[in-house]
Amino acid sequence: MQEFKSFPFDIHDVEESDKRELSKYFLGAGKFSIQVGPKKYLLMSDYEHDAENIYNMPLRHDDIFLVTFPRSGTTWTLELVWLLASNLDYSTAAKTHDNLMESLNKKHADNPEYLKTLQAMRTPGSEQASKMASPRFIRTHLPLSFLPPTLLDSTKVVYVARDPRDVAVSYYHLSRDFQSFIFNGDFKTYWSLFIRDLVYWSPFFEHVKEAWQMRHHPNMLFLFYEELLQNMPATLQRVATFLGKEYRADQIEELSTHLKFENFKNNPAVGIYDMKEYGMMASKGEFVRKGKSGGWRDYFDEDMTREAQLWIDNNLQNTDMRFPSMQ
């Protein structure tokens, strides 16, 4: 039986000035936000009640964790990891992934209003994980330091990083459309909050660098989102090898076609349309948007571009990490 350990980081309220700014732009964010640890990760307040349970969650030998900062290709990568680990079982994938709304619809068919309030009801992450059948594919936006300390010695972890400028653009659109956020400012304002670590799960670079430092661990696979776009077949082979799987070139090609962004975006198994139906996302919103690299250039003026480059350079000065899009 594993030893239960105290959560090693302080959890505290957001500073008053930051709380006011968050409340100004995000629905309820100032009131329901906390900062955790010396890096001051900004999280939703309900995390405080589950932090110790997540830190101590029992791990299984066949677990696969997918860890990302939000809007870094999480859903897309989960699909490819699940398929590679599951012997390319496309039929089961179509039935399995993200069918939460379908089950809730059956359970509460006589009470549709209940479904529309689900966004205010969050089942603790540790409880969700404990009920999952093995092998578990667990995706999380939490940084590695908040996950069980034996994680990399016990399970396989795939981490995906993406150019922060593209992350910010994608996160901005989600924050405007997702009913739990409802950001009411323009992109320039959002970018200012992003680089000041005032969006959920930030600071961005601390999140990514925690994983980068562990990239040589045999149970860690560090991927860049841009690698998937630039050479999908080669990246799929890397993931397959990491998972101990072997596939023929034609199988990898078939998977590459399945994962082409338009095919993936229109895949009903992704479960995005249900979010709109039950009021969790604006009717015109897109959870899976464009899936490209460099789209940030359509949103940044010259001053923002210079500011972004300075911010990136400052954060990368003591590391050899470079995003493929920046090389």
Average pLDDT over residues 57-65: 97
Percent of the chain with pLDDT over 90: 70
Question: CA 82 to CA 264: how far, in whole Å?
Answer: 14
Paired residues of 297 in beta bridges: none
Buried/exposed 13-40: b ≥16 CB within 10 Å, e otherwise: ebeeebbebbbebbbebbebbbbbbebb
Distances, alpha carbon 150 to alpha carbons 3, 57, 242, 269, in Å: 11, 10, 19, 33
Distances, alpha carbon 193 to alpha carbons 37, 109, 115, 154, 201, in Å: 19, 40, 32, 36, 12
pLDDT at 4: 85
> In the chain, how many H helices and how many E strands?
17, 7
Which parts of the chain are beta strand (E)? 11-13, 33-36, 41-44, 64-68, 137-140, 156-161, 220-224
- Phi then psi dihedrals of residue 249, to 5 deg: -60, -40
For the stretch 208-211, contacts whose Cβ atoms lie closer than 8 Å and that sit 24 or more positions apart, written own/partner, are 208/69, 208/161, 208/321, 209/319, 209/321, 210/143, 210/144, 210/145, 211/67, 211/143, 211/144, 211/159, 211/161
pLDDT at 293: 75
Which has the higher per-residue pLDDT, 161 or 262? 161
pLDDT tens sequence across 117-138: 444 446 899 999 999 999 999 9
Which has the higher per-residue pLDDT, 117 or 193? 193
pLDDT tens sequence across 204-259: 999 999 999 999 999 999 999 999 999 999 999 999 999 999 999 999 999 999 99
Token pair of 200 as six digits: 């959920």
Q: Collapsing DSSP states into helix, strand and coil, what is residue 11? A: strand
Which parts of 22-78 are beta strand (E)? 33-36, 41-44, 64-68
Q: Is the dihedral angle over the CA atoms 94, 96, 100, 102 positive or is it negative?
A: positive
Q: Is the dihedral angle over the CA atoms 216, 220, 225, 226 positive or is it negative?
A: positive
CATH ID of 60-326, from 3.40.50.10540, 3.40.718.10, 3.40.50.2000, 3.40.50.300:
3.40.50.300
Q: What is the pTM of this model?
A: 0.86
User: Is the pLDDT reported for residue 5 higher than 60?
Assistant: yes
Distances, alpha carbon 172 to alpha carbons 145, 188, 296, in Å: 26, 10, 11
pLDDT tens sequence across 275-313: 344 344 344 544 444 556 789 999 999 999 999 999 999
pLDDT at 68: 98
pLDDT at 117: 47
Say which amino acid occupies 55.
Y
User: Is the pLDDT reported for residue 94 higher than 80?
Assistant: no
Question: CA 138 to CA 204: how far, in whole Å?
Answer: 20
Question: Which of 193, 210, 239, 138 has its CA nearest to residue 23?
Answer: 193
Paired residues of 118 in beta bridges: none
User: Is the pLDDT reported for residue 181 higher than 80?
Assistant: no
pLDDT at 127: 92
Average pLDDT over residues 66-79: 95
Q: Collapsing DSSP states into helix, strand and coil, what is residue 202? A: coil
Could you state, in order of their start, the residue ranges of all structural domains in the chain?
A: 60-326
